[in-house]
Structure formats: structure tokens, C-alpha cells
Structure 1
């Protein structure tokens, strides 16, 4: 018996070894499947070596942002997709044909390390030819002191190339040995004969840690009432309720959601200055996102508004932007950048109406929906004279603008004008800014109530269809 047992020991060891190998292969296979099924995981990294995809961003801040309702779970968003210029710190977001100069150029929107000096090469694909020229970079001066900033790389188009279809950017110090190593961006805005597909497009950037579903729905419905045709949201992450609302409006074509998470490649800040929150790029890359939105809709929208989701530009003598913009053009001229004064309505203070008959019809409504009810906050802070000229938002003719920032434009053909608050002004429902003010210091403004009947009906309908409000809880 002992002899037979010794003879079978090697077979048992081989069997155990094979079992270990099978278990290891199974574990590796499961890991690969999980990796491929994660958000954005269907892009194999070795197929596009120059394409940088990022993990969803989560904020390290312990206090709530103006978009966030404390205690609500934020779910990851999809990753943005950038093109890296080999041998540099430059990231490319998108490319557009520039028609407004005597000599045609391609404008590439980029994120760059400001201190890095790069000699760029532009590889323009035109039909079956590849044209190579030098590119010129200029960096936006609104970088707020962060090491990285938004930039435009300008590439000349040769006379023989009427419509370059694709472009790749390289560094002269790291030229590829083969064309197959180039990663091309599509050159957009090829045609300009489809002007004004929309009258008004609103660019929202950037949505991060966003859980304020009720105010999102209210703002989107108010945009509709004001005459907006399209809202473009550059989203990093949001709550599940918010995502359901975005999906609902995207299905109707009213909202376009653009994934915008840059955290794998860059340590982005979730504040406007490095002193308040560290990082290498301002506010989740807000400025390159705004410029991307401006150019993507340059020949699709007559006007583009640069907004946050908690802001509304309300006319005072007319009811919509459709009626407001002709007044502004008449008073200030066309092709202008129109700037609207910021007025803060604290969302942490609820006061009784100034008169009983002005009681908001939606006061106490939608309690089951997460977020802020803007119709309950009708008292504004006095205008802070120190912030006049600093905190405002704009509506522009996109074809008259070359570069834009968070507040105002950096370069345009005809400059900007201030719109008097008696004509139109911005209603910003957010956390209190002037924290030393007492409730009695706030000023009542019931302009929003002029829209309340239409808004009430529209929000009820939307919340029911989204599934955030049951039939017996409508207002």
C-alpha cells in the first residue's frame, strides 16, 4: 500500500497545480470583465495610446458646493476624452475651422502647462494629402494663478486645402516616425450656411457633485419659458435623481450632456483659486469647457448664454429672451456681449412675503424632491458694490466672440455692454454670500412670481414624467 501511495503523489501534486492555475486564470478573467464594464471602460488603452480618459472626479472638499444638497449621494459620471500631445503636458479637447479671418485657420482648444514652451506642428489632413505647418499658441489670461490654463493653438490652412477634415498636433521635439502614430481630431464647423438652428443655447459648466434635482428641473423649465432651445451641460458627476432628470430632458433633445471629468490626468481644483483649494487647473476645467461650448454652437445658435444652473437672467419689462434681445440690439447695437448684474437670493433663508397676496403659489411644494425650490426664495442681498463688474454672466452672439471666460469674454469683435438692472438682471438662488446680513437687510423681489403659474404646471408635469413625484403629491 505504501509503495502505491508514493507512486500517486506526483499525480496529486500535478492536479493541485492545475487547479491553482485554473483559479488564477478565472480571477484574471473576472478582473478584466469588471474593468471593461466600468464607466468608460470600453476603450482599450492600447488601441489609442494618445487618447487620455479620466476617472470620475469626486471632490475632496468637506463643505457643500453651491450645487450640492448636503447628505445626498453623488454617483460617478462618464469620463471626458482628451488627446495628449506626446512629449508635452498639452491636452487637446476639440478643433474648429476658423472662418472669420482673411486667411483660414484651424483653432484647436487645449489645456496647457503655462510654463512649458512647446514648438507645435500642425498635421492637416485634406482629402488624401497631409499638410504640415507650424502652430501658434496663445494662453487665456484668466487662469486664476493655476499652473495649467486654457489655450488655443492656431494652425494655418494652406490655399490648396479648402476643407481640412482632421488635424493632429505634435511637438517638434517629439515628431512621430510614422503617420500611423498621429492621433487626429475631427475639424468641426466646416459649413457656415446652417446659421441659427437655435435662437438660444445655454452653456452650463461644470456640473460636479450636483444633487439639487428640484432646482435643476425648475431652471430648465424656466429656460423653456424664456425661449431657450438647447441647454448644454458639461457634467462631472451628479446624484441619481439629477441623472434621471438629465436623461429625461436629453430624450426630448432639450439637454445635451457632455462628459467632463479630467481628474486622472490633472489634479483639478473645485474652487476658483489655488488659495482656496489646491490643484493645477481652475474649477474642473471650466474655461476650456466654456470655449468648447461656444465654438460647438457658433453656427447653430444665434445667441449663446454662459450660465450656471442656479442662475436665471430675467427681463423686467418683457417676458422672454425672444423679446429682450431685440431691445438690447436696438439700445446697444448688434454683435455685442451683453453683461447682466448678479443678484443673490439666499437659499438658506425663507421669509414671509412682503404682502399676504404675494404668497408664492408653490410655497411648501415638492418636499419629496431633493433640492431648492426657487419660488420660496424671493429676498435678495443688497448689491455688493465691491463685486460690481466682477460677478456677472453673459449672453453673446457667438460669431462675435473669439475667447470667453467665466465672467465676460476675453476677446470679441465689438466688446461688451452692461445691461441696466431695470431692463434685465440675473437672479442667483444660492447659499448666502454676505453672511453678516440679517434677514431684515434682504430686499423683496417678486419678479419670479410673474412666471409661477406656467412654471408650476411645467415642473409638475416634468417631475411626474421623470418619476420624482407621485400623482398625489403635485402642487
Structure 2
């Protein structure tokens, strides 16, 4: 009787035992296959699997976003941002955008990956001269290409003091811009750097919608952090294929300053690492965009005689020559002063936007008087990126041709932000209603976005 019961129990347990044995065999197989993987570590610039979305402006399929994955160089204080194949120099080279401690005396070497082979060469270093006096500055690390490696796919940078680096310990950057394209998916790309503690939702939406009216079809935002409502707006535009958010995590590595100069806020590097982010954006879109604009979310470059950048740039190139960069004069529109009463075509929007956090640029139409030249005034640029080698916050440090100044009667920049104590009184400001020529289309577009993101109160 006992033997019969044991046999029945065994029959009941047999399926479960079989399943357990199969699971153990599968785990063993996974473990063995993992042990057989090659030891190289490729830091591929992608924070996770690439996501592709449809750009509703151009109709093209584009990357939803890429991360700037920072790598610390062993044996040095240097941080690596990104790597690109530089086609314009003779001979060609790999250019690595880096952040370097300016007082450190270090020799670097490059390990270039070509067809499963590694080629090691000595690197040259050029620290950008515009670092605002902070200990760290942006640098170009140049890696010469050996004859047997003219198209490397990855590069690792280490201290030259490390002889014969072990490939298993190297951290590689993907070498971007493999081909010097002549046809570009975007006409105008705007680079914003860097977004931190950002809550100015209304002005962000207004700026993005204005840029689209001007002809921009790609906006790149280097983001440190922002409010949940701002993130909702970024997600909305990202899903549409218009905005690419680049996570910018420099504060994990260095003490970033929140101001432009060390005496205003001491730190390791200027203003959240704005300069290396701008240089990364320039190279990232060198062969993806016909033009690149470097400015902030509270800045708009407005044409005065035509309605869009698409109409403006041919005029500038006819006047100053093609393959150029163009400087646009800055004009401050202090948010401390408001249009009273608002223009009639702005009134309907005010009731809808009253509870949306942020600045309404349509109600700040008085600018500070233009100062006599030559005066530095925080100008910003639009450039053919293939004509530029090094950029900074305001302008270009090195290019194939000198940048041309754009006459303010042709176009200039509208910078709408709080100015604090500047000694000016309301009667000294100058009315400028150019923005109102866009107000009808802008108001409708902003309302649509705020409704779709559920940020417009019922």
C-alpha cells in the first residue's frame, strides 16, 4: 500500500521536478554564455536602447535622444564628453571633446578601435582659452589616425604614463560623424545649454513655438534638472520628434558653478559646464543640420524685414558670403516692466495663461536702450557648423571665416528675463512691438500645447 502511495506522489511531483531541472539547466547555459562574452567595455553614448520617433515637421524618423556619457580618464583629472571624426583637417583625426583641469600637466594617449584591432598613438591637447577663470576648462583632445586605422569606430583616452593599457580596462567612446554628409535632415537646429532647476514653463513653450514659426525643426536641450511640469512639456515635444533632451550629469563629477564668474559663485567649472555642452552640440549636428543656433530658452533671434530664419539666412549669405557664422546683437527686455495695458491681440491669452507658471513674453515689449558700440552685449550666433571649430557662450573662438555682425535693422536678439538693479527707469525703456506680428499664430500654437499637456487650467 505504501509503495502504491509513493508511486502516485512521484507521478504528481514529476512535472514540477522536470520544470525545476529545466530552469537550472537554462541558468547554467546563461551563466556559461556570459562568461564567454569579450571583455571590452564600450561606452556607446546611448543611455539606453535608442528610441526612434517621427519628426512631425520634417516627416523624417529621428532619434528620440542621446546621452552625453562622461568618462573619467584614468591617471588624470580629465573628463571625456564625446568623440567625432574630424574630416576638415589635413590629415583627418579623431577629435575628443574633453573637460580638463587647467593646471594639470598630463600627457594623454589614444587607443583607436579599427576592425577588432587596437591602435595606440600620442594625443595632442588644446585647452580653450575662454574658461571664465575657473579651474577646469573645455579642451580638444586630438588623436592622429594611423595609416591602418582611417575610420575608427571607438576611441579610449588614457594617461600616457599607463604603458600598454589592458584593453579590458579601457572605456571607449563611440566615434561619431563617420561620414561628411552634404544633405541634412534638419535645416535649423537650436542648442539650449544648460537647463537646470527649470520651472519657466510658459516661456519655454512660447520659445519653442516661436522657433518653429521661424523655421527651426530640431531643438537640443542639455538638461541637468527641471520641474515635473517642465518635464511633461519636454516629453511632449520629444514624442513629436522636435526636441532632443541630452542628460547632462556633469555635477556628478565636478562642483559646477551656477554663475558666469568664480567671484559670483566659486566652483570647478563655469555655469554647469555650458561651454563643453555647446561644443558637443556643434559637432553632434555638424552633419545633421544645415545651420546651428546657439542660444538660451529666454532668447529669440527675430528678423526685422522678413518673417523667418529660412528667409533671413539667404539674405545674410548674399550680403556676407556663404559658409559663415553670424553674430546677432543682444537686446534686453526686462521682465520687471510689463506692457500696460496689454495689446488687444494679447488680451485673450492672458486669461488662459494666468495660472501657467512662467514669463509671458508677449507682455514684455519694452527694451533697454541700445548702447554705443563697441560694447560686449551677450550676443549669440547662427552658424554653418561645418565652418566652425570651437565655440564659447557668446560667439566663436575658431572658424574658417570670421563671423559677420548682423545689422540690427536686419535682425537682432530679444532677451526676455529679469534684470534686477540696472539703474533704468520705465520711461527710459524703448517700445518694440515686433514680437506682436507673430502673436496670433503664437497664441494659437501655445494654447494647443498647453491643452494637450493638460497644463492649461479648465
Aligned residue for 1:435, secondary structure, equals coil
- Tell me how large the CA RMSD over aligned residues is: 2.5
Q: Distance in 2 between matches of 1:207 and 1:366?
A: 23
Answer whether contact 1:98 1:105 (CA < 8 A) is retained.
Answer: yes
Contact 1:95 1:106 in 2 (8 A): yes
Q: Which residue is equivalent to 2:240?
A: 252
- One of 399, 413, 416 as aligned partner of 2:400: 413
Q: How does 1:53-452 map to 2 (within 5 A)?
A: 81-175=69-163, 177-193=165-181, 195-352=183-340, 362-385=349-372, 388-432=375-419, 435-452=422-439
Contact 1:221 1:455 in 2 (8 A): yes
How far, CA to CA, are the matches of 1:177 and 1:325 in structure 2?
A: 49
CA contact (8 A) 1:51 1:82 kept: no
The normalised TM-score by structure 2 is: 0.83
From 444, 452, 457, the equivalent of 1:457 is: 444
User: Contact conserved, 2:41 with 2:172, CA < 8 A, in 1?
Assistant: no
Distance in 2 between residues matched to 1:131 and 1:48, nearest whole Å: 16
Q: Deviations over 1:402-422 (max 9, x none)?
A: 000000000000011110100
Q: What corresponds to 2:455 in structure 1?
A: 468
Aligned mates of 2:264, 2:170 — CA distance in 1:
39
Matched length:
402
Do the aligned partners of 2:300 and 2:414 also contact (CA within 8 Å) in 1? yes
- Cα displacement (A) at 1:436: 1.1
| Aligned partner of residue 454 in structure 1, secondary structure | helix
Q: Distance in 2 between matches of 1:175 and 1:112?
A: 21
Shift in alpha-carbon separation, 1:342–1:402, aligned structure 2, 3 A: same
Q: TM-score normalised to the size of structure 1?
A: 0.80
Query: What CA distance in whole angstroms lies between the structure 1 residues aligned with 2:42 and 2:383?
Result: 38
Q: Which runs of 5+ in 2 are unaligned?
A: 1-39, 46-65
Residue 82 of structure 1: CA displacement? 1.0
Secondary structure, aligned partner of 1:81? coil
- Unpaired runs of 5+ in structure 1? 1-46, 53-77
| 1:150-197, Cα deviation, whole Å (9 max, x unpaired) | 001000111222311000111111346421111111000001235321
**Mapped partners of 1:422, 1:243: distance in 2:** 37
Q: Which runs of 4+ in 1 moved over 3 A?
A: 47-52, 356-365, 384-387
Q: Is the 8 A contact 1:207 1:233 kept in 2?
A: yes
- Deviation of 1:261 after TM superposition, in Å, equals 2.2
- C-alpha distance 231-163 of structure 1, shift in aligned 2 (>3 A): same
Question: What SS class does the counterpart of residue 161 from structure 2 fall into?
Answer: helix
Q: Secondary structure at the match of 1:184?
A: strand
Distance in 2, matches of 1:414 and 1:210, equals 36
